[in-house]
Amino acid sequence: MKKKKNIEIDFTTKLLGLISEPNFIKFLNIFSEPNIFKIVGRTHYERWHSAFIGWLLDANGSHLLADYVLTRFLFALLEEDTLKSIKHNEFQLFKVLPILDFSKIEVVPNEYTSTELTVGNVGRFDIFLKGSYFDKFTDVSKNINIIFELKIDSQVNSNQSKKYADWIYNNHPNDDNFLIYILPNLLSSSKATVGDDRWYCINYQLLNDKIILPILDHPNLNEKVKPFIIQYTKNLKFRYKGIKMAITTEEKRLAISLYEKYCDVFDAIFDALQEADTIDYSTSDIPKRGKKIGKIVVKIENKVFEGKSINDLFQKVLKYLVDSNKLNNIQMPWGTGNSRYIISNQSVPVHPNGRDFFIPVKYKEYSMETHVDRKRGIKILDDFCKELKLSFETIEI
């Protein structure tokens, strides 16, 4: 009994040490420091983000970086974490990217023209860039066109993805055409993420790390606009409706420093929350406040499934998987991690910790856990279909 009391006192002492640690206070202050995007209530307003990125991409912008940002974007498409376009290997441009000279770059919106490009019955492009490049070694000159689409808390529309891709390839058949989607969370492929495999998909973390941060070190950067870019990077750290777009370098440094000193406290808290079934995945997937309404539509192996909720959707998907014998070659029970199973053929389905499935749907001898929010549910279906070697794409969330 005395030993247990000493452990409790020791833990309390360490916890008090943590909350009075200067680095912990600095960590808290990160989220309360003033930011122009927060002041005007536009931290997650997509048109502000597209206007800002359009300004950076404009070779004639007041940042004085010329085509550097465009080059950084194209290099980012080669990153391992980028979901590649099905046309990726067709682009010869990547082989000579470091020595290319870009010219005649036009971007909308930009700091002088705030209106996006709208095309007939196709839609309005968040950012549209056109220009040309010259390969000095082969004397080859070619036009380049890029459509950028940004999402933060609005939903991807797969029909829109297809229409934009069809338009750029039909209207510019002899050019290098790129489609780049920027969004907080990626699935296993471009098709699964945005509904069309001609797109490249990157998240805001990669945008921050590989494009925005290198800009700050560029020797030609106009010092007068540097504070604007710093404000933008700091804006990415604010959480909104459960969405945190990027973790800053400062956050990482402070987190590592605190964890090295108080790892037992963090581990104990995490274990307790996990045991209480409060968390079992990254906090970036925390459900939004309030229950979201509206249908969810996905496509598996060219078959479309529509549900009013994750529970309804999983029920229909489970029936299809069982009736079409898609589950014969997967080990049961199955899950995406060590803390929960997603599907089980046990008569009473339980998770690895011994807890019963919280909200199961059942069909024949199989049960699926549906106690997840929409975004997490879609990610689970994507992972599950990948395990089953089935094609998957979202149509509407």
The 10s digit of each residue's pLDDT in 50-90 is 999 999 999 999 999 999 999 999 999 999 999 999 999 99
Final residue in a domain of this structure, among 182, 207, 235: 235
Higher pLDDT, 8 or 177: 177
Q: Which of 28-32, 99-103, 148-152, 153-157 has the highest mean pLDDT?
A: 148-152
**Residues 198, 50 within the same domain:** yes
**Residues 62, 188 within the same domain:** yes
**Residues 81, 228 within the same domain:** yes
Q: According to the model, what pLDDT value does residue 280 have?
A: 46
**Residues 58, 194 within the same domain:** yes
**Residues 76, 148 within the same domain:** yes
Q: Which of 182-196, 286-300, 353-367 has the highest mean pLDDT?
A: 182-196
Indicate whether 246 belongs to any domain.
Answer: no
**Residues 217, 321 within the same domain:** no
Residue 8 pLDDT > 60: no
**Residues 179, 300 within the same domain:** no
| 111-131: average pLDDT | 93
HEC string of the chain?
Answer: CHHHHHHHHHHHHHHHHHHCCHHHHHHHHHCCCCCHHHHCCCCCCHHHHHHHHHHHHCCCCCCCCCCHHHHHHHHHCCCCCCECCCCHHHCHHHHHHHHCEEEEEEEECCCCCCCCEEECCCEEECEEEEEEEEECCCCEEEEEEEEEEECCCCCCCHHHHHHHHHHHHHHCCCCEEEEEEECCCCCCCHHHHHCCCCCEEECHHHHHHHHHHHHHCCCCCCCCCHHHHHHHHHHCCCCECCECCCCCHHHHHHHHHHHHHHHHHHHHHHHHHHHCCCCCCCHHHCCCCCCCCCCEEEEECCEEEEECCHHHHHHHHHHHHHHCCCCCCCCCCECCCCCCCCEECCCCCECCCCCECCCEEEECCEEEECCCCHHHHHHHHHHHHHHCCCCEEEEEC
**Predicted confidence band of residue 218 (pLDDT cuts 50, 70, 90):** very high
Residue among 383, 389, 396, 385 nearest 187 (CA): 383
| 38-57: average pLDDT | 88
Indicate whether 269 belongs to any domain.
Answer: no
| 80-104: average pLDDT | 89
**Residues 306, 225 within the same domain:** no
Q: According to the model, what pLDDT value does residue 212 have?
A: 94
**Predicted confidence band of residue 242 (pLDDT cuts 50, 70, 90):** low
Residue 154 pLDDT > 90: no
Residue 2 pLDDT > 90: no
**Predicted confidence band of residue 132 (pLDDT cuts 50, 70, 90):** very high
Indicate whether 250 belongs to any domain.
Answer: no
Higher pLDDT, 33 or 211: 211
Q: With pLDDT > 70 as the criterion, what percentage of the chain qualifies?
A: 91
Final residue in a domain of this structure, among 214, 235, 256: 235
Edge-to-edge strand order for the sheet containing 360-363? 343-344, 366-369, 360-363
- Mean per-residue pLDDT over the chain, rounded: 86
Q: According to the model, what pLDDT value does residue 287 have?
A: 39
| 95-116: average pLDDT | 89
Residue 350 pLDDT > 60: yes
**Residues 302, 225 within the same domain:** no
**Predicted confidence band of residue 165 (pLDDT cuts 50, 70, 90):** very high
Q: According to the model, what pLDDT value does residue 15 have?
A: 79
**Residues 50, 152 within the same domain:** yes
Range of the domain at 375: 296-396
Indicate whether 274 belongs to any domain.
Answer: no
Q: According to the model, what pLDDT value does residue 293 have?
A: 55
Number of domains in the chain: 2
CB 248 within 8 A of CB 233: yes
Indicate whether 199 belongs to any domain.
Answer: yes
Question: Is 0.85 surpassed by the pTM of this model?
Answer: no
| 7-30: average pLDDT | 78
Residue 180 pLDDT > 50: yes
**Predicted confidence band of residue 273 (pLDDT cuts 50, 70, 90):** low
Query: In this structure, what token pair is assigned to residue 52?
Result: 């800002």
Collect all residues with Cβ–Cβ distance below 8 Å to 371 and sequence separation of at least 6. 357, 358, 359
Q: According to the model, what pLDDT value does residue 279 have?
A: 53
CB 26 within 8 A of CB 258: no
Query: In this structure, what token pair is assigned to residue 101?
Result: 């000279």
Final residue in a domain of this structure, among 235, 250, 269: 235
Residue among 279, 213, 220 nearest 246 (CA): 213
Q: What is the pLDDT of residues 186-208, one digit of tens each?
A: 999 999 999 999 999 999 999 99
CATH number reported for the structural domain that contains residue 191 in this entry: 3.40.1350
**Residues 223, 117 within the same domain:** yes
Indicate whether 244 belongs to any domain.
Answer: no
CB 62 within 8 A of CB 225: yes
Q: According to the model, what pLDDT value does residue 171 have?
A: 97
| 334-352: average pLDDT | 88
Q: According to the model, what pLDDT value does residue 35 have?
A: 80
Collect all residues with Cβ–Cβ distance below 8 Å to 366 and sequence separation of at least 6. 318, 321, 322, 327, 343, 344, 345
| 234-255: average pLDDT | 80
**Residues 331, 216 within the same domain:** no
Indicate whether 5 belongs to any domain.
Answer: no
Indicate whether 285 belongs to any domain.
Answer: no
Q: According to the model, what pLDDT value does residue 202 have?
A: 97
Q: According to the model, what pLDDT value does residue 284 have?
A: 35
Intra-chain end-to-end CA distance of the chain, in Å: 53
Q: According to the model, what pLDDT value does residue 291 have?
A: 42
CB 150 within 8 A of CB 50: yes
Query: In this structure, what token pair is assigned to residue 379?
Result: 């990610």
Residue 97 pLDDT > 70: yes
Residue among 27, 38, 25 nearest 231 (CA): 38
Residue 276 pLDDT > 70: no
Q: According to the model, what pLDDT value does residue 278 have?
A: 55
